[in-house]
Structure 1
Amino acid sequence: MKSNASVDGKAKPDPSTNARSLLDIENLSVCFGQKLAVRNLSLSIARGERVALVGESGSGKSVTALSILRLVGHAALSGRIVFDGEDLLGKSEQQMRGIRGADIAMVFQEPMTALNPLYTVGQQIAESLRLHEGLRANAARARGIELLARTGIPEPERRIDSYPHQLSGGQRQRAMIAMALACRPRLLIADEPTTALDVTVREQIVDLLIDLQQQEAQERGMAVLLITHDLHLVQRFAQRVAVVEKGVLVVTNATDELFANPRHPYTKRLLDSEPARVVEPVAEHAPRILDVVELAVDYRTRAKGVAGMFGSARFRALHEVGLFVRQGETLGIVGESGSGKSTLAATVLGLQRIAQGDVKIGGRSLATYRTSNDERRKLCGRIQVVFQDPFGSLSPRMTIEQIVGEGLRVHRPELGEKARSRRVAELIAEVGLPDDALPRYPHEFSGGQRQRIAIARALAVEPELVVLDEPTSALDVSVQKQVLGLLARLQKRYGLSYLLITHDLAVIRAMAHRVVVMKSGRIVESGETLALLSAPSRRYTRALVAASLQ
């Protein structure tokens, strides 16, 4: 298919594609009050085509995707969005409900906010199948188990009865993909579909999406619009790439040609944003900030078979895990989804009950911090966290200034209002957000911008240890490089220690002094980062490294 934007940045619709296009976006503009988020964007997607829409956080990628389904709230839309010959902007809300999920499905960026916490994932998959395909309960359940299995979730017969909070971040994302594919849509919009997935499962999901799209090409001509900042994923998945900068489509081109010969300055900048290693040596006699001693953690789950009618069973998520973090050091924790990484993080933060073993902060057992509110407040002053899902961790009723300044009000009461406001403004600037962010609310920002807000909030009280649970999963490559550099500078300036939980080995290489590899709740290998990743001794680690290079 021909490009519909020239390399000099001027978008030009391609009339020759209209006769065979599944989707035609013509001069789309999206305005939120006085803010123009998307300006005169034109893009065509053919039946059976895989197109990637890429750009930095806040560039308008997700807004464009949401506009196709008319999910942009009270934003003013102009232009045309023609799907299979019909203008979606002229459809009623009732008509759009019949299209959403059946003809056009979407995998949202943040699964925890998109999934209903009151229903199991099986019930949520079945709902779509009943509404759009008329399947009965047993048939819908069987189809749901099949979809969960195809997306790589282990024990799908058990996981189909799990609630969203009982799944890891990667498992929730895979459940979202299963829901989106349930009704065999003609257009699948995937907004950062592999954000929360580890490298090996990411490859499985990409292969799955390609396989399903090719299977449906003859019968339904299913196309995929991929919204992402992962350029490795784009290169492997997409046939054509559209690049957006500040709401303007600056270039479209065949994937191979764009990567081999990028001409637009913005495209070149995106391709040159691989994070560089910035790691300061740890002092020889640096004290230990964190000690995890033979830690075991159990979850209650529904027992199988008849036993499930009378009680629950226990599932061991961590098995005798032991590790430490010194002052000024970054310890990376890697492993596939469900390996126990996030459970370890929650336990270190005091959010998960310990079955066996102990966690010590600065040599003091975590249990001693639970004796009073004052002690718990002291713990929060020593250890902070940046969660994997920034939107779920930010209060929608508070402004950014209130969110970032909340910790200062609690832990630094001696600061006056003006001093606190100055400090909040400094933090916002440090993480790369504009001054006008302060009076705004979380929903007004992109996923990557919300993650930067969460980082600023965590750093506000100057903690000794920061738990980083997938801190760059929602960030585009250029902002990722900026944030990793910021974290490195702050570590050097304040002697911060980081417990870095991630599936991105490029981030581990850039930040971590040492790395621990986990599988099924156990540590399988650990050591100095560059030495371990260059010559892993375990087959599992070798598979992770190999998958990250693809």
Structure 2
Amino acid sequence: MSEAKSNRPLLEIDRFSVRFGDKIAVHELSLSIARGERVALVGESGSGKSVTALSILRLVEHADLSGRMLLDGEDLLQKTEQQMRGLRGADVAMVFQEPMTALNPLFTIGKQIAESLRLHEGLRPNAARKRGIELLRRTGIPEPERRIDSFPHQLSGGQRQRAMIAMALACRPRLLLADEPTTALDVTVRQQIVDLLIALQEQEAAERGMAVLLITHDLNLVKRFAQRVAVMEKGVLVETNTTEALFSNPQHPYTKRLLDSEPQRAVEPVEPDARRLLEVQGLAVDYSTSAKGWRSMFGRSTFRAVHDVDLNVRRGETLGIVGESGSGKSTLAATVLGLQKPAAGHIHIDGLPLASLKTARSRRELYSRMQVVFQDPFGSLSPRMTVEQIIGEGLTMHQPDMDAKARRARVGSLLEEVGMPADAMLRYPHEFSGGQRQRIAIARALAVEPELLVLDEPTSALDVSIQKQVLNLLTNLQKKYKLSYLFITHDLAVMRAMAHRVIVMKSGRIVEAGDTLDVLHAPSHPYTQSLLASSLIVSPAGAAKTPTGTVND
């Protein structure tokens, strides 16, 4: 490599803009990335991060692009589509946010890796398979010789993301784009993927100078991964600095607001005489599964998802449930809500056994006292119904004597309660942001005046500042109405902010339980300790903290 070329940035974005009709998504962005550098592009949804990344690959449709996008001095915006096909995967590769969506469900992992090797390097099937196995081994997938013949649905979330990384690195690109690569993963898997990306990038940087542009709103990930950070707000680059300098001394108000979005604990003590609203004793839940091998001759087998769980929630209390995917958290919640039949054990709501409810009317009356807020507000709200219909549906079912005028007034007051304008009633879910949709979901849950809310990852799909607003809303509603929350999450910062007590689940069992701060400050079980070690929390002062104190990166 010539000296002039080595001193030139690998990627240089110069006064780059993206326009969709009259809307400007990115406005005169200027940013450079050196060879071997790890840069994070940070901002909330709608800031233009992902549009910028897709524009590097020229994958943005129906948009007007202007400015310059130079890769090793060559303007990508001036290249033909045929030329870009030669660059995609070979010189610039991308790791997408949701591997299950990005991977083709009809082809094995091996065939999808081999496709890039065949197109860009002309490898024959046997050579491509051998390279694919080695790539899977490098990314830490166990038994790569077997897993290469697996379909995407046969892999876990972490394994699918590792397979995506293997595909991206197949042709040893000069620039790797990582668009929210850990958002859908548990904290321990997230740490493994981050460590893997750093190790692979450092190895490729030493050999080929590979750089990484990380697109994210996860400040913990930025702190751990990036050497330099660029912050975008509404399509405009507002601040760029080294990671250490930006976290310790942010200059722009928007950057300060992002760093100040860590949830703050505002938990009020539960009243000493508060009654037990929910009691669970010896709960076990089984799933029927297809038997494998010779056992299939004898029919189906049983998988126990929840083992001998005891818990209780008092009026006005938040009980947090922490654990990774597959730990049994959501199964436990579904069983409490009566959506899953237990194999053993007892569930009491305000002293009334759930199993004693034999008629549809009695179950409906009890279920009006329990409501649920799901993780994905867009998926849980009907796109065919207006907000008024969505929130009013529960009133129609549980309070059939309420007339239309009173029902509309109730919907309006609920929207006001959750910080939404009353004129939102006539609009549809797709017309709102993620945070607004979650407020609508909360309003729907409050409509029938429940006493217990099951919150299943209610903020994991939201930006950090919106997450803080929703958590503050939930805190204020709990104080006002003495609501009880069964709060499911894998985010320990959220748990620390919201929960009075916490239980930690692993493989369907409770491995640790106690007051939230006691568990987070002095965990006794190795699994809880590993969760805490994987969960750095960023403070505005720039220190990366675990709930047990400050740690050094």
Three-state SS of the structure 1 residue aligned to 2:262 is: coil
Distance 1:289 1:57 in 2: 38
Corresponding residue for residue 538 of structure 2:
none
2:28 matches 1:40: yes
Q: 1:544 to 1:133 in 2, by over 3 A?
A: same
Corresponding residue for residue 510 of structure 1:
497
Corresponding residue for residue 308 of structure 2:
320
1:220 Cα deviation (Å)? 4.5
1:282 Cα deviation (Å)? 1.6
Corresponding residue for residue 199 of structure 2:
211
- Equivalent AA in structure 2 for residue 514 of structure 1: R
2:236 matches 1:286: no
1:488 Cα deviation (Å)? 0.4
Corresponding residue for residue 4 of structure 1:
none
Q: 1:146 to 1:324 in 2, by over 3 A?
A: farther
Distance 1:425 1:315 in 2: 42
Contact preservation (8 Å) 1:105, 1:181:
no
Contact preservation (8 Å) 1:148, 1:175:
no
Three-state SS of the structure 2 residue aligned to 1:21 is: coil
- What are the ranges of 5 or more consecutive residues in structure 2 without an aligned counterpart? 119-123, 536-545
Three-state SS of the structure 1 residue aligned to 2:462 is: coil
2:245 matches 1:257: yes
2:186 matches 1:201: no
1:421-453 residue CA offsets vs partner (Å, 9 max, x unmatched): 6246425635xx9978973653x6665665555
1:513 Cα deviation (Å)? 0.5
2:122 matches 1:132: no
- Equivalent AA in structure 1 for residue 471 of structure 2: L
2:419 matches 1:422: no
Corresponding residue for residue 219 of structure 2:
231
- Equivalent AA in structure 2 for residue 205 of structure 1: I
1:528 Cα deviation (Å)? 1.1
Contact preservation (8 Å) 2:110, 2:148:
no
Three-state SS of the structure 2 residue aligned to 1:56 is: coil
1:76-110 residue CA offsets vs partner (Å, 9 max, x unmatched): 54444444555555667777667656654444445
Match of 2:527 among 528, 532, 540: 540
Distance 1:435 1:109 in 2: 34
Contact preservation (8 Å) 1:291, 1:323:
yes
Match of 2:452 among 433, 447, 465: 465
Q: 1:155 to 1:214 in 2, by over 3 A?
A: closer
1:287 Cα deviation (Å)? 2.9
Q: 1:163 to 1:193 in 2, by over 3 A?
A: closer
- Equivalent AA in structure 2 for residue 525 of structure 1: E
Q: Which moved more, 1:26-35 or 1:134-143?
A: 134-143
TM value normalised by structure 1: 0.80
- Equivalent AA in structure 2 for residue 178 of structure 1: A
Q: 1:139 to 1:29 in 2, by over 3 A?
A: closer
Q: Which moved more, 1:18-27 or 1:87-96?
A: 87-96
Distance 1:376 1:138 in 2: 61
Q: Which moved more, 1:247-256 or 1:266-275?
A: 266-275
1:364 Cα deviation (Å)? 4.1
- Equivalent AA in structure 1 for residue 183 of structure 2: T
After TM superposition, list the pairs within 5 Å mapping 1:298-447 onto structure 2: 298-301=286-289, 303-307=291-295, 312-366=300-354, 372=360, 378=365, 381-397=368-384, 403=390, 406-408=393-395, 410-411=397-398, 414=402, 415-416=404-405, 418-419=408-409, 422-423=412-413, 425-426=415-416, 429=419, 439=427, 441-442=429-430
1:139-182 residue CA offsets vs partner (Å, 9 max, x unmatched): 76995797499467899968986875x88xxx425523422432
1:240 Cα deviation (Å)? 0.6
Larger radius of gyration, structure 1 or 2? Answer: 2
Corresponding residue for residue 487 of structure 1:
474
Corresponding residue for residue 484 of structure 2:
497
Distance 2:112 2:225 in 1: 27
Contact preservation (8 Å) 2:290, 2:296:
yes
1:332 Cα deviation (Å)? 0.7
1:524 Cα deviation (Å)? 0.9
1:37-74 residue CA offsets vs partner (Å, 9 max, x unmatched): 33222222233321111123433333433444455554
Match of 2:166 among 156, 162, 181: 181
Q: Which moved more, 1:209-218 or 1:84-93?
A: 84-93
Distance 2:90 2:410 in 1: 50
1:516 Cα deviation (Å)? 0.3
1:307 Cα deviation (Å)? 4.4
Contact preservation (8 Å) 2:321, 2:486:
yes
1:258-308 residue CA offsets vs partner (Å, 9 max, x unmatched): 122222222222223322211122222323332322222233455454546
Count of residue pairs brought into register by the alignment: 523
1:207 Cα deviation (Å)? 0.6
After TM superposition, list the pairs within 5 Å mapping 1:113-192 onto structure 2: 119=105, 123=107, 125-134=109-118, 143=132, 147=136, 150=139, 164=153, 171-172=156-157, 174-184=159-169, 186=173, 187-192=175-180
After TM superposition, list the pairs within 5 Å mapping 1:236-247 onto structure 2: 236-247=224-235
- Equivalent AA in structure 2 for residue 58 of structure 1: G
Q: 1:313 to 1:349 in 2, by over 3 A?
A: same
Corresponding residue for residue 248 of structure 1:
236
Match of 1:266 among 227, 242, 254: 254
Contact preservation (8 Å) 1:173, 1:196:
no
Distance 2:207 2:276 in 1: 61
Three-state SS of the structure 1 residue aligned to 2:450 is: coil
Q: Which moved more, 1:94-103 or 1:221-230?
A: 94-103
- Equivalent AA in structure 2 for residue 327 of structure 1: R
Corresponding residue for residue 297 of structure 1:
285
Three-state SS of the structure 2 residue aligned to 1:429 is: coil
Q: 1:46 to 1:410 in 2, by over 3 A?
A: farther
Q: 1:232 to 1:359 in 2, by over 3 A?
A: same
Q: Which moved more, 1:509-518 or 1:93-102?
A: 93-102
Distance 1:223 1:530 in 2: 40
Percent identity (aligned) = 65
Three-state SS of the structure 2 residue aligned to 1:314 is: strand
Q: 1:38 to 1:428 in 2, by over 3 A?
A: farther
Contact preservation (8 Å) 2:412, 2:422:
no
Q: 1:206 to 1:274 in 2, by over 3 A?
A: same
Contact preservation (8 Å) 2:262, 2:464:
yes
Contact preservation (8 Å) 2:114, 2:132:
no
Three-state SS of the structure 1 residue aligned to 2:342 is: coil
2:38 matches 1:50: yes
Distance 2:90 2:186 in 1: 29
Q: 1:181 to 1:488 in 2, by over 3 A?
A: same
